Amino acid sequence: MEFKRTPDERFHGLVDYPFQPHYLQVDDTEGGELRIHYLDEGPSDGDVVLLLHGQPAWSYLYRYMIPPLVEAGFRVIAPDLVGFGRSDKPTQTEDYTYARHVAWMSGWLTQLDLSDITVFLQDWGSLIGLRLVAAFPERFAGVVLANGGLPTGPIPEGFSAPLKEAYKTLPVVKAEELEARFRDRSGVPGMLYWRKFCAESPEILRPGDAVIDRVGNSIVITDDEKAAFNAPYPDESYLAGARRFPSLVPLFPDDAEVAENKAAWEVLKQFDKPFMCAFSDDDPVTAGGDKAFLDRVPGCKGVEHRTITSAGHFLQHEQPQQCVQAILDLKRGTDHV
């Protein structure tokens, strides 16, 4: 599998990101290997907090959460998914599949041999992370789910064919229009506009400017922060993963990984360790997505769920203190189990 590796100098001197890189090699599923980057901060014998990012972000999204968690005594681990951050980036969009992402992160997790994990999941971090929880429930002590989910083809079969046809002629909207498309529940789902945007828009080359700063965001992002979010992508050849991810979300009943996600749900319906929903109050992407977990996951019972206030989709950037508090509160709950 051909891949690109973002030059190290792109990551030098990033604002509020003083962390040292760590790397592991995983099987690329084609006889080669890919390098996964991760942060590993805090005491090596501390209880593990795992932070999984989504698309088009990378571990930089957790820069404000890592120091207070380390100060609280945790070993904090934050990987970059394949195709993002300092991890290797296969150059062909077809190299990216949902199943491969789960396999790559499963290989990474088992190599580190992590256990008693409290995991914080958001966006694609949840689509992959919840599959890890289902595959290795014995390794996880608790889950904080924030603006995420585990879809199993939620678009009804009767709407699938017309929406797939409509997608072919959807315009590639400007970045500033994306939030409105997500908030409009009367027409084509906003996720399809997002899928088209990522697949075709040149703006995705600069996610810090085009996305992190726009989707339900209530806090100003500085030019230095935008540059840091953009750092993994020197040019178009590094973008295959960022362009591909939205097309891998199982929206339609016949999409790949629907059956696998349904099987993962069967495990989650038996998961009785503390499971907190901490969705934000102004996310047009995942609003209402917590209900399925509150209704179906036993570990949600007796947990103090919360709403992260004054935050949009990227709540780790906007309200890191509230996100940290959610982890601390859940961890206090696991200590009494």
Catalytic residues: 123, 283, 313
Q: Find, among 76, 82, 152, 87, the residue nearest to 120 by Cα.
A: 76
SS3 101: helix
Contact 237, 5 (CB under 8 A): no
Contact 323, 65 (CB under 8 A): yes
Q: Find, among 314, 56, 4, 93, the residue nearest to 204 by Cα.
A: 56
Residue 81 DSSP one-character state: P
Q: Find, among 261, 263, 236, 240, the residue nearest to 249 by Cα.
A: 261
Residue 36: count of CB within 10 angstroms of its CB: 23
Contact 57, 225 (CB under 8 A): no
Backbone Cα Rg of the chain: 19
Q: Find, among 5, 15, 16, 56, the residue nearest to 210 by Cα.
A: 56
- Counting every residue written for the chain, the total comes to 337
Structure tokens at 287: 């609003």
Residues contacting 22, CB < 8 A, separation 6+ = 37, 38, 39, 40
